[in-house]
Amino acid sequence: MESDLLKKEDEFYKENEKLEQRTKELMKKVTDVMKIQDNLIKESLKTKSDIDFIKQNNFKFSNKQKSIEKVDYDKADDELGIPNEISNMGVKGATQYYKAKLTTLQVEFVKLQAENKKRGEEIKKLQKENQSLQEDKEKWFTSHNGAKITIGRLESQVSSVNSKFQGKTTELTLLKKELEQVKKDLKKSTLDLNNYDVRLTRAHEENEKLKTSLKTVKDEEKV
């Protein structure tokens, strides 16, 4: 999400740069039109002054007037995209055309300013969202580092418990072996005890037989 916002913000910056460039171009066009208007007014005044001067001095001014009315604005016209026919409209017609052109440029300039302002507000909004995301990222990073430390501590404890468990497991294995040996020894002792008991029983029986035989012999001797 953060990368998308950064990408969108970058696109807005690029669009803003384009708007600023268009604004500069419009301002240049407005300036050029205003210069042309000033030149037309100056040329108009100069023409009137020349006509008055010629009338006063009885000069022929038809060629002079024609050359004055055909002021060369080709360079400015090319830059502003103005038709070449404007130069044939005369000073008054050209002035009206340039006024209309200036009004159009001013309207477009106002639109560009509004669009530029809107873009700026959107960029500020994106910057605010980006700042919020950055703060969340820093909080998450801090929490993540804390979790890593806790996990490391727990892993160390688990490792210690595992070592102890391994030791106890080894000890238990040894005890099991000892228990098995004790069981074997106990079984052997039980067998030995049973054998001793059988032998004792037999010895007792033999002893009883001997007692009986001895008594019989004694009884026979008395007779």
Report the percentage of the chain scoring pLDDT > 70: 60
In a domain, 82, yes or no: yes
In a domain, 221, yes or no: no
CA gap 166, 52 in Å, rounded: 120
CA angle 181, 184, 190 (to 5 degrees): 140
Tokens representing residue 47 in the block: 């023409």
CA gap 53, 40 in Å, rounded: 19
In a domain, 17, yes or no: yes
CA distance to 178, 180, 182, per residue, from 185 (Å): 10, 9, 5
pLDDT tens-digit series, residues 95-145: 677 777 778 877 877 887 888 788 778 878 877 887 888 888 888 888 888
Looking at the predicted structure, is the pLDDT value of residue 202 above 60? yes
In a domain, 19, yes or no: yes
The count of structural domains within the chain is 1
In a domain, 87, yes or no: yes
Average pLDDT, the chain: 73
CA torsion sign for 119, 121, 127, 129 is: negative
Tokens representing residue 63 in the block: 């060629």
How sure is the predictor about 83, in pLDDT bands with cuts at 50, 70 and 90? low
In a domain, 145, yes or no: yes
CB atoms within 10 A of CB 101: 20
In a domain, 203, yes or no: no
pTM attached to this predicted model: 0.36
Looking at the predicted structure, is the pLDDT value of residue 174 above 90? yes
CA gap 215, 217 in Å, rounded: 5
Domain of 85 in residue numbering reads as 2-152
Looking at the predicted structure, is the pLDDT value of residue 78 above 80? no
In a domain, 162, yes or no: no
CA torsion sign for 112, 113, 116, 122 is: negative
